[in-house]
Structure 1
Amino acid sequence: MAELAAGAWSWIQENPGRAAVCAAGGVAVAAPALVAGPALAVAGFGANGIVGGSIAAGVQSGIGNVVAGGLFATLQSAAMAGYGAAAVNGVVQVGGALGVVGAVLKSDTPDLRKLNPLERIQYVLNGDNKDGGSWSDFDLKGTCLKSDIVKVAKQSWDDVTLDKLVDMTKATPQLVERLKGIKESLGKY
C-alpha cells in the first residue's frame, strides 16, 4: 500500500497538470452539482429563473418561446433543481470521466514545438523519446528548423559524440549534405 501511495505521489509531482485534471474530473464524477451549479449560474440560469442581462437571457430573447423539454428548458430546470438536474449532472459526470481517462492516457511524448532548439534536437539524439524512435525517424521538416540545427551546432557541437554522428549519417544521407553546408556557413561567422 505504501508503494502504491509513493508511486501515486511521484506521478502527481511529475505530472501536476494531468493530476489536476484527474482531481477535477473526480469531483465532476463524484459531485456533479458542484460543477454544474456554478456553470449554470455563470450562464444566467438561476434558481428563481433566468437572470436579467445574462447570456441565458440573451439566448431566450433570441429563441422566443421556449419549447418544453428542449435544451434551454432542461438547463433552466437543472438550475432550479428540477427534472433537468439528472440530465445535466449526467453530462457533467461523463465529461469528468472522459477528462480523467484522457489525462491518464495522454502521451508522455513532449510537444517538440514547445522545446527550445537544443532540447528539440537532443530529444532525438539522446533517444529520450519513449516511442523508441531514432534519428532516422526524426522529421526535420515537421519538427525541426534548419535554424535549430545551426543554433545547436553553435551551442553544443562538442556534445555530439562520434557514434551519434555516425548514426546520423547512416540514417539520412541527405543530412550529411546539410551538415556540410552548416559547417561551411559556421566558418563564415
Structure 2
Amino acid sequence: MQLTGSWSDVYGSTLALYQGGAGGHHWAVAARPEQAREAARVLEALPGKGQTLLLVYDHLTPLTAALRLYTDPLQGRPLTGVVVLDRALARGPAVSVPLRTVEQGDLSFQEGGVLPAWTDALGHSGEQGECAAASVAAQLDLAVRVCAPQDLSATLLTWWQATPHALAPGRAQTRTTLPDPAAL
C-alpha cells in the first residue's frame, strides 16, 4: 500500500492514510507511538485494495474521536474494522478506565469510564485480556481484532481474505436474483 497522506488531529495524534488498489474496504490500525514505525513499514509492504488508516494515539479520547469520525457515514464509506496493536488477544472483558483530566499542550480533556467487552471479529479462540483500545472500538460498534505488532501483516491479510466485498458496512446487499417483472 502507498502512503498518500499524513496529518495530526486536534489532540496531536498522528494519522496516516495508506491506499491500495481500487475497491476494497476501509480499515484502521490503532498503534501506540512506539509501535508506529513498525506498523507503517508493514502497511507499506502490504499488497491490498482499499484504504487503511494508521491511528497513532497516546490516550483513549483521541482514539475514540478519530474512530468516531471515520465511522460517520457523512465522511464517506465507514470503517470495515479496526486492528489494535497490543498483545495477541481473542476477547476481552469490560474495562473500567479511571476518570482523569489530560493536559496536552494547550489542550485539556477528560477521559475515562466503563468500556464494553469485545470479541475477535473472526471468532478466533485464544487468550483473553483487557485491551482498552479494543473496548473503544466495540463501544463504537466496530469489528475489532487485537494482535502483536509483529503479527499485523498476517492479521490484516487473514481478515481481508475473510471479508466479502458485498458485505461492506454501509453498502446494500448484492441481489442474487432479479426481481419478478410482473411485480414491478
The interval holding the TM-score normalised by the smaller chain is under 0.3
Question: What is the TM-score with the length of structure 2 in the denominator?
Answer: 0.25
Which is helix-richer, 1 or 2?
A: 1
Which is strand-richer, 1 or 2?
A: 2
